[in-house]
Amino acid sequence: MAERRVTIGWAEGLHARPASIFVRAVTATGVPMTIAKPDGKPVNAASMLGLLGLGAEGGEEVVLASEAEGADSALDRVAKLVHEGLDELPAA
């Protein structure tokens, strides 16, 4: 399983607008992945409800993971988005 540990770069955490950007970015990769707080229960990273239920705040670490083909590249792209608090998924 590929995984990336990343610190949330959005000051407001993964709530409202950043959560929407994150879910769209995950969906755009076409790679199923999960997100969790360290030692927490993973949730579907493409689920807005799951993501909001995570309660991840700015500056907290989260773990992105996937077993799918192409996971390394997809996780790198999404990790960059989260770490830098970008408004959209970086170009491939």
Share of the chain above pLDDT 90, in %: 87
Query: At 3, which amino acid appears?
Result: E
Angle, vertex CA 68, rays to CA 10 and CA 87, nearest 5: 20
Indicate the domain borders of the chain: 2-84
Q: Considering only CA atoms, which of 8, 1, 17 is closest in space to residue 78?
A: 8
Q: Using CA atoms, how far apart are residues 66 and 45, in angstroms rounded to an integer?
A: 10
Range scoring the smallest mean pLDDT among 9-13, 38-42, 58-62, 83-87? 83-87
The CATH architecture assigned to 2-84 reads 2-Layer Sandwich (3.30)
**Active site residue ranges:** 15
As given in the structure block, the two tokens for residue 36 are: 């969790």
| Residue 18 burial (CB count, 10 A) | 23
Give the mean pLDDT of 5-17.
93
Task: Quote the pTM value.
Answer: 0.92
